[in-house]
Homo-oligomer: A and B are copies of this chain.
Amino acid sequence: MKRYRKAAYHPAALVESPSVGKGTRVWAFAHIMKGATIGADGNVGDHSFIEGGARIGSRVTIKNGVSVWDGVTISDGVFIGPNAVFTNDLRPVSRSLAHDFKPTRVLDGAAVGANAVVVCGHTIGRFALVGAGTVVSRDVPDFALCYGNPGRVRGFVCVCREDLRFRGARARCRCGRTYRKTSGRSPRVTEA
């Protein structure tokens, strides 16, 4: 075990990967395995674990007690709340080599709330907001507000995190951003 040490790493952190970007802070009892990549200006909280195959972008906040496994890709500006957990095997069998691995992606600017669990094989869209304690068992669209067990889309949020109030197909946030929503049972929202 080669261990990297920087001023931005707590002395009780275990950082075995050289691929952690400038300015990223790693806190006590966090463990980043060899092979993991993490971008700049991020944060990895106490008791978090980043497996060797995880890919994490820049300005990402990983709070305490989070596990990020091989097969999980987290894009820039994402927030992962405390004790949120990812998975990478739909039907795990102890000590088996016949895994049912599925990749998981969390896209730019999304937030995953405290104690949420993301069942593997799904994508959490750009700037989506997944509430505390949510069980994510399907894809979450861009800008969606999703919560519950199982997680359901309950509305949409702006980049600035305010709720979007649509009049027909269009919404204008107080911050000035405008959005369009498709019709149908599973609407999609895009910046207009």
Query: Would you list which residues of chain A between 50 and 66 have a CB under 8 Å from chain B?
Result: 59-61, 63-65
The answer to whether the Cβ of A78 comes within 8 Å of any Cβ in the partner chain is yes
* Interchain CB contact under 8 A, B149 and A133: yes
**Interface 1/0 per residue, A21-62 and B, CB below 8 Å:** 000000011010000000001110111010000000001110
* Interchain CB contact under 8 A, A115 and B114: no
Complex formed: what's the CA distance from A170 to B64 in Å?
44
* Interchain CB contact under 8 A, B83 and A111: no
Complex formed: what's the CA distance from A131 to B157 in Å?
29
Q: Known contacts A49-B46, A67-B83; decide if A111 and B94 are in contact (CB<8 Å).
A: yes
Say which size band chain A's interface belongs to.
35 or more
* Interchain CB contact under 8 A, B31 and A85: no
A83 interface neighbour in B65, B113, B132, Cβ under 8 Å: B65
Residues of B within 8 A of A42 (CB): 94-95
* Interchain CB contact under 8 A, A133 and B117: yes
Residues of B within 8 A of A95 (CB): 41-43, 59, 61, 77
A117 interface neighbour in B64, B114, B161, Cβ under 8 Å: B114
* Interchain CB contact under 8 A, A60 and B117: no
A133 interface neighbour in B14, B92, B135, Cβ under 8 Å: B135
A87 interface neighbour in B10, B132, B149, Cβ under 8 Å: B132
The answer to whether the Cβ of A71 comes within 8 Å of any Cβ in the partner chain is no
The answer to whether the Cβ of A103 comes within 8 Å of any Cβ in the partner chain is no
Complex formed: what's the CA distance from A61 to B150 in Å?
26
Give residues in A with beta carbon < 8 Å to B.
1, 10-12, 14, 28-29, 31, 41-43, 45-47, 49, 59-61, 63-65, 67, 69, 77-79, 81-83, 85-87, 91-95, 100, 109, 111, 113-115, 117, 119, 129, 131-133, 135, 137, 148-150, 157, 161
